[in-house]
Structure 1
Amino acid sequence: MARTTRSAPTLSDAVRHAEALLQVGTPGESFTEITAEAAAFLTEIGAGAGVLTVFCRHTSASLTIQENADPDVRTDLLTALRSLAPRGFGWVHETEGPDDMPAHVRTLLSDTSLSIPVSGGRMALGTWQGLYLIEHRDRPQRREVVLAFTGTIGHMA
């Protein structure tokens, strides 16, 4: 029989909300890590416990939580995405170029929004996890990512 345990819940009446707009320049198709920027946002607002929502305001770029230790993982993930939604597949929508429709499909396969628990002012990410904006277009882009925290400000006693 499996055993599970959990900590006692932490309750607070002092829930707050804060948000910021993060602008991310990309070099074209790539993974751009934004973990440090999200962590800095939490530090700046004095976050305690709550949820960080990260939202990408685009349909040809997306977000993911992935391993941040070995860059080969990101290389292999780009290879997989290229295989799942290749350029030159015979897409009907090519208004913005041959990389546009594959970018939309790749966004469909990943996420435009992430919810990350925050505890003690820090994202509750695993040891090798990082937040990434995935650029699906070929050329450099300027992307907007909304960071929104809902929870307590300051550490709970």
Structure 2
Amino acid sequence: MRSELISVTTGSRETVYDITQKCADFVRSQGEDGLLNVFVPHATAGVALLELGSGSDDDLLSALRELLPTDDRWRHAHGSPGHGRSHVMPALIPPYATIPVLGGRLALGTWQSVALVDLNVDNQQRQVRLSFLSD
């Protein structure tokens, strides 16, 4: 297995951050068939496969705001208001995804992208572990 840790700056607001190109660059250097595992080693972020740039990313954030509101209901209450919701989110959007790789290329659907989903505005620096298992 080959593995690499990449750094991502998500900013000071909740975001859906496209990491598709970073994933594609990593598997291209492997040049073979296998599986790419994308893992976020954080308790407050997730990985999603979805269409980006067409409004779906904003729709996802809107849906998460409705499901996980920023208010004082959360028992996990340190950090910015509603921080506890960030710790619940990975149960809905897991911190990992596995993507087939064929000939050194991600075998994603036509409109699929790989995104880091981050609601935690208190932590602007994220790491993502890319691991390639060859066939």
Residue aligned with 1:117, SS: strand
Residue aligned with 2:38, SS: strand
Superposition RMSD in Å: 1.4
CA apart distance, 1:80? 0.3
Equivalent pairs counted in the alignment come to 134
Task: Please say if 1:29 is aligned against 2:17.
Answer: no
TM-score, length of structure 1 as denominator length = 0.80
For residues 64 and 137 of structure 1, do their structure 2 counterparts lie closer, same or farther at Cα, with a shift above 3 Å needed? same
TM-score, length of structure 2 as denominator length = 0.92
CA apart distance, 1:47? 2.8
Alignment-derived partner of residue 145 in structure 1:
128
CA apart distance, 1:99? 3.1
Residue aligned with 1:104, SS: helix
Pairwise mapping of residues 3-152 of structure 1 onto structure 2 (< 5 A)? Answer: 17-27=1-11, 28-44=13-29, 46-70=30-54, 72-139=55-122, 141-152=124-135
Q: Verify the 8 A CA contact 2:39 2:95 in the aligned structure 1.
A: yes
Which residue identity lines up with residue 37 of structure 2 in the other structure?
A: T
CA apart distance, 1:142? 0.4
Q: 5+ residue gaps in structure 1?
A: 1-16, 153-157
Q: How many angstroms apart in 1 are the aligned matches of 2:82 and 2:120?
A: 6
CA apart distance, 1:105? 1.4
State the identity as a percent: 35
Query: Highest CA radius of gyration, 1 or 2?
Result: 1
Which residue identity lines up with residue 107 of structure 1 in the other structure?
A: P
CA apart distance, 1:20? 0.3
Q: Verify the 8 A CA contact 1:34 1:132 in the aligned structure 2.
A: yes
